[in-house]
Each structure stands twice: as structure tokens, then as C-alpha cells.
């Protein structure tokens, strides 16, 4: 099944944080639409996007924003699609301001929120949402998790074999 996930950001500087989500989604064969839509600087375009997203076939929206971080909440207020907010790390408050802005949505307008800078986890959460309705995608996710498990087991084996100093030198 072909799904479309939108990955939107308030500024092009947010792309570094969100690129892991785009890469992961594409690795799983999920089509992505990547946009810069500022809640404050391009509000009309952001509103049009949010209102048309479901009609255009988008299934999940990942929205990254820094500072006041209104983008995820504003999109969620205009769409019934699941919105995953990604707080972007900022210079002023290290992203805590962004995180609190996204987390503290008013009753009735939920936004799922991942860690500050958590682009990869946003992509994984989007995949899990889609996999709830697609057994093939669910199997692919299970395989992905198994590969993470095997990777950690191998790293542990290597650390035990080499010791901490040699392990760090080999990294």
C-alpha cells in the first residue's frame, strides 16, 4: 500500500533535525512530501496545507518547529490527521521552549510529541501509526527492531571482548 506522510518545518534550518524521519520513511517505501511552512511568516500557505492535507491523501503529518513552535498545533487545529510534533533545539532555551509549546496543547487538539531533536523517532511513530493498518509494514517494523537488537548484542560482545579502551579506539 502506498502512503503519503508530510514532513513540514517552520524554517529550512529545521531540515537537519527532520531529515532522519524523511530518510527512514523512504527506506520503508513511504512517500514523503517535505515543505517549509511557517505558522508566523507564511500563515496562509500553512492554513491551506493543513485544510487540504487529508483530501490530498496525506495520512500522517510530522511538524518540526523551534522557539514558539506553533506549527504542529496550528496544523492539528485545522486537520483531523495525526500530527507528530518535533521540538527543534534552539540556542536560547535548548529546545525546552519548543517542547513545552508543542506538549501543552489545549484539550481537544492533541499533538503527539517526540523528544527535542527527535526527527528519527517522529518517523518511527509515523510508521507505527501506518503499520496499525498494514500488516506488511508491521512486519517490516518488527524486522527493523530485530536488527537494532542484533546490533546492540554485537556491540556488547565486542566491548566485552576488547575492553573499554580498545573498543573506543576501534570506534
pLDDT tens for each residue of 58-115: 999 999 999 889 999 999 999 999 999 999 998 889 999 999 999 999 999 999 999 9
Domain residue ranges in the chain: 4-133, 135-171
Going by the DSSP 8-state scheme, the letter that residue 11 receives in this structure is S
Q: Which fold has domain 4-133?
A: Rossmann fold (3.40.50)
Q: Is 84 helix (H, G, I), strand (E, B) or coil?
A: strand
Adjacent-strand bridge partners of 7? 34, 62
Q: What is the pTM of this model?
A: 0.94
Q: What is the pLDDT of residues 13-54, one digit of tens each?
A: 999 999 999 999 999 999 999 999 999 999 999 999 999 999
Q: Which residues contact 149 (CB under 8 A, 6 or more apart)?
A: none
Phi then psi for residue 137, to 5 deg, are -65, -35
**Nearest one of 99, 109, 116 to 18, comparing CA atoms:** 116
First to last CA, the chain: 39
Amino acid at each position: 500500500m502506498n502512503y503519503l506522510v508530510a514532513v513540514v518545518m517552520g524554517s529550512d534550518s529545521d531540515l537537519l533535525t527532520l531529515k532522519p524521519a524523511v530518510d527512514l520513511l523512504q527506506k520503508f517505501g513511504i512517500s514523503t512530501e517535505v515543505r517549509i511552512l511557517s505558522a508566523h511568516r507564511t500563515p496562509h500557505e500553512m492554513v491551506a496545507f493543513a485544510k487540504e492535507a487529508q483530501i490530498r491523501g496525506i495520512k500522517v503529518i510530522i511538524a518540526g518547529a523551534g522557539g514558539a513552535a506553533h506549527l504542529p498545533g496550528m496544523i492539528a487545529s485545522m486537520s483531523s490527521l495525526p500530527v507528530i510534533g518535533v521540538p527543534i533545539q534552539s540556542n536560547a532555551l535548548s529546545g525546552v521552549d519548543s517542547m513545552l509549546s508543542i506538549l501543552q496543547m489545549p484539550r481537544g487538539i492533541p499533538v503527539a510529541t517526540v523528544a527535542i531533536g527527535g526527527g528519527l523517532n517522529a518517523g518511527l511513530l509515523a510508521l507505527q501509526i501506518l503499520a496499525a493498518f498494514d500488516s506488511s509494514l508491521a512486519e517490516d517494523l518488527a524486522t527493523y527492531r530485530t536488527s537494532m537488537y542484533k546490533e546492540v548484542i554485537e556491540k556488547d560482545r565486542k566491548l566485552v571482548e576488547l575492553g573499554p579502551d580498545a573498543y573506543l579506539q576501534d570506534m
